[in-house]
Amino acid sequence: MYNIVYSQAGVCASDGFFADGVSAGLKKEGAKDMAFIYSEDACEVASVFTSNKMCAAPIRHFRQMGNFKTNFILINSKNANAMTGKAGVEDIKEVLLTCGSNIKNPIMSSTGVIGVRLPKAKIIEGMKLFNLSKRDSASASKAIMTTDTFAKEIAFKVELDNGKSFNIGAIAKGAGMINPAMATMLCFITTDAKATKGEMQELLDEVVKTTFNAISVDGDTSTNDTVLVLANGRSGAYDKEAFKEALFKVMHFLALEMVRDGEGATKLVTYKVTGAKDEKEAEIVAKALSDSLLVKTALFGEDPNWGRIASTVGASGVEAYEERLKISFDNLCVYDRGEILFDAEMEKKCAIVMQHKKFTIACDLGVGDGSFKAYGCDLGHEYVKINADYRT
């Protein structure tokens, strides 16, 4: 058995890890725009990246490195270094060559505007401001923000029955261009667990399906989506089951924080689909609901338009029947296998539910035993305003 307890210090909670954020002049008014994560020991690395075919230069650079250990991640905001071709990768190599001798196989991650070369001179000068003895997770998490309205970090301590323990912590960014095929999101997870690269990768691939790949803000899949897990093994402790649950807690928390921070979002909605033919068809329906612009705008208007939900289920392409479908807002059933329960009184009750910051829309397809949960938000005026002038 094991016990997982909330911990402090975010991405610096694990032994031997350091992080901080600085201002290199990439953002206006001296805002922090560059960060680092550093480990005194070389780390095993597990990774998941965007499914977008136009993946950014940092991802291409990472993949070119093959099988390696690292102890340093350089992160910049404001510039995605995407659609910059081979030159974008060469820019990364040039920047990372300036790292100190204590840095082993450094890697880079970027977020921001697409189609602009890295401001190498500013980034190289910014790196001179790094103090590798700093343990300021909050500062690092603020530096990687773009349209985020708040920083995102979390950490846990995992206590094992044998008296040993390990830590796991993370920072992340993401608020818009969020789609269930990963998001315009970066997530950096550190741990002092004695985990192998193979097991970390196996668990990351599994956990991402029900966390970051289950969220949607606007249905757009970014060029830069990245999740990295770094393990330096300092604690000497590890338990696969405990590590998996702790990893899920970290990623699930941060995934929901991204949806909650969706550009202009006012609602965090869970789409719970049950009774599907199988898990895959349940996932298709749940993600169709979390992606639907008609559903999102109804959420913003606090309009319990259950017909849009039924239509989206039917359009998803899965096996579904009007006479078997059941739709509920939290515990309020509005349509029950062919019977419409949505009268004037029910509409008032559902409208109250939709005023809440968090609620669940549940769909039982009545076909099989497949189930899946996806997470989404509403879409309103602020989203259009933010993205209409994002480059400025």
Tokens of residue 332, six digits: 């309020």
Q: Nearest Cα to 217, choosing from 390, 374, 391?
A: 374
As a whole number of angstroms, the distance between CA 34 and CA 337 comes to 54
**Contact between residue 304 and residue 329 where contact means Cβ atoms under 8 Å apart:** yes
**Contact between residue 194 and residue 41 where contact means Cβ atoms under 8 Å apart:** no
Q: Is 184 a catalytic residue?
A: yes
Count the alpha carbons within 13 Å of 126 in the hemisphere toward its beta carbon. Answer: 28
As a whole number of angstroms, the distance between CA 274 and CA 371 comes to 4
Strands (E), 7-81: 17-22, 34-49, 70-76
**Contact between residue 248 and residue 207 where contact means Cβ atoms under 8 Å apart:** yes
As a whole number of angstroms, the distance between CA 233 and CA 49 comes to 24
Q: Terminal CA-to-CA distance of the chain, rounded, Å?
A: 52
H-only helix segments in 7-84 = 57-64
Helix (H), strand (E), coil (C) string for 229-291: EEECCCCCCCCHHHHHHHHHHHHHHHHHHHHHCCCCCCCEEEEEEEEECCHHHHHHHHHHHHH
With 0-12 / 13-18 / 19 or more C-beta atoms within 10 angstroms meaning exposed / middle / buried, residue 243 is buried
Calculate Rg over the CA atoms of the chain: 22
Phi and psi at 149, nearest 5°, equal: -100, -10
CA distances from 341 to 150, 298, 301, 346, 352 (A): 40, 19, 21, 7, 16
Catalytic, out of 146, 147, 184, 221: 184
Question: Which residues are catalytically annotated?
Answer: 184
